[in-house]
Amino acid sequence: MELDIVLPTYNEKENIEIFIPKIEKEIFKKRKIKGEIIVVDDNSPDGTARAALKLNKKYKNIKVIIRKEKEGIGAALRCGYNAASGRLILSSDSDLSFSTNDMLRLIDKINSGYDMVVGSRYLSKKDYEKLKIKTMIKGFVSKYGNILVRVFSGIDIHDYSSNFRIIRRKVWNDIETKEKTNSILLEMIVKTAYKGYKVAEIPVKFLERKYGKSKINLLKEVPKFFIKLVYYSLKYRF
């Protein structure tokens, strides 16, 4: 099996210095999986790209793409997905909020006959770690926003805004995404499902980031997300 793991980054140096070795050990070495880690970095001033390049000297399977400007998570994901050559593409936040154990569960689930699998933070209350108040507020908005998305889209997925997911490369090539913001996460699920592919989700643990600050601005991203929700619902469902 060939698997590429896409990690969009901006000022995540300390996190990837922990996360990438864990992926190498617990995914590629332990499971004997062939593939690459694709780091898409938005020219981080903290030296994230340099740290990834240094790790590549040891592991030899890390591709580092440095973008001159911050163009949004959607553009970063599309860049990383398009650079992938493996049969499967898995993406994750780079801040240690998701575990390599849950990565293995995503892989096992898609190999059981699905085309896309989303790691949901909301399927089980026990899988949402005790978090800081600010993170809990973001989680509250995200959770109930996702309920509204599920009602509008008619697709039984509980976490449309999770970047923790895996998709078959042939499906990625077929859905032809356009979004440059977080809305790409919604767009991917909607287009995959409405094209008749099999989409599933599994409960995953969400952990507080270890280092750095979250880049998500809810006041900015939430309105855009729901405008796109209405757009895709009208275009594909109604």
Kindly tell me if the per-residue pLDDT of 130 is higher than 60: no
Q: Please provide the average confidence, as pLDDT, over all residues in the chain.
A: 85
Tell me the pLDDT tens digit for each residue of 86-126.
999 999 999 999 999 999 999 999 999 999 999 998 886 55
Higher pLDDT: 44 or 149? It is: 44
H helices of 84-210, in order, are 100-110, 133-153, 169-175, 183-194
CATH of the domain at 62: 3.90.550.10
**Alpha-carbon distance 28 to 3, whole Å?**
9
Antiparallel, parallel or unpaired: β 88-91 and 34-41 = unpaired
| pLDDT at residue 211 in the model | 67
Domain of residue 159 covers: 2-237
| Size of the chain in residues | 238
Confidence (pLDDT) at 217: 56
Number of domains into which the chain is organized: 1
Q: pTM, whole model, 2 decimals? A: 0.85
